[in-house]
Amino acid sequence: MGGRLICVLAVLVLTGCRLSQGNAPPVAPDAEAPAPARYHLAWVTPDGELVRADVDFADPRTVAEGVYEAAPSADGARVAYADSEEGVGWVNLLSGETERVAAPHTRDPWQHLAISPDGQRVAYISMGRVKVWTRGRETITIEGPRFCTSPAWAPDSTRLAVGTMAKKDAEDEDGGIWVWSGDGAAEHVVPAIKDGWGCTQQVMWSPDGEWLATARGAGDGWTGDLVKSDGSEIRRDAIGAGPIQWRPDSSGLLVSVHIEAGAFRTGYYDLVAD
């Protein structure tokens, strides 16, 4: 039996189901049965085609070409993508509808896409600046941060954090972390530090929105910081080589621990005990 290799991105979407409630009334025998769950997959082929299909690969359809970056929404219902011809767009995996977010740019490609958890906004990096597209509104450029790396939305979609470099293409020079609260300029909540590790490449919000777990570095050298989202407390080099996953109650997180050049293991940081 032949096979097919697909790579880069896979998104699983569950729709059309109902969660039972403990005190819900029983369903009458003649009541209409709940709609069956529907699953969809999306992936980017080695040729840069963004493909959408049912979970059994029925009716696969190419929704975009020339795609070089893609990111799913938190609920898996949408995928934002950047392509070389059309710019930034997103596709609704449930309906198959696509929507244009930004026009193509010839000087610098769109990078580091991030969909807000509520599915209403897309943040991306262009020419070193953070831009935010909101459904039904004009795309804005966030004032303040420059030479930005990867943006990350807070769990409630009201704030956006982004790490920065001290200057263009200088991953070995940190520029600190900025937080945008949805209006006006962003606030420089974490100052730059010159300790040899480099700039912030990853930001992960705690589920309660109180903390930012970050990874700074480049190549084989990484360190992890833990900071309050308002900048009131900073724990440098506290979480190994960076975050992997928060506990749902925000009491701790799995972290990557650096063993030697190119080698890491998983550890756990207990926020409460510390």
Backbone angles phi, psi at 38, to 5 degrees: -115, 135
Residue 29 predicted with pLDDT over 60: no
Query: 19-23, 97-101, 114-118: which range is least confident on average?
Result: 19-23
For residues 74-83, one letter each, b for 16 or more C-beta atoms within 10 angstroms of the residue's C-beta and e for the rest, the string is: eebbbbbbbb
Could you tell me whether strands 211-218 and 200-205 are parallel, antiparallel, or unpaired per DSSP bridges? antiparallel
Q: Are 208 and 250 in contact (CB under 8 A)?
A: yes
Residue whose pair of structure tokens reads 């991105």 in the numeric block: 9
CA angle 128, 97, 183 (to 5 degrees): 40
Q: How far apart are CA 104 and CA 220, in angstroms?
A: 33
Q: How far apart are CA 113 and CA 210, in angstroms?
A: 23
Query: 8-22, 71-85, 136-150, 175-189: which range is least confident on average?
Result: 8-22
Q: Are 184 and 143 in contact (CB under 8 A)?
A: yes
Query: 53-57, 121-125, 128-132, 144-148: which range is least confident on average?
Result: 53-57
Q: Over the stretch 236-246, which tens digit does the pLDDT of each residue have? A: 989 888 899 99
Q: Any idea where the domains of the chain sit in the sequence?
A: 39-241
Q: Which residues contact 201 (CB under 8 A, 6 or more apart)?
A: 149, 150, 163, 171, 215, 216, 217, 218
Q: Which CATH class for the 39-241 domain?
A: mainly beta
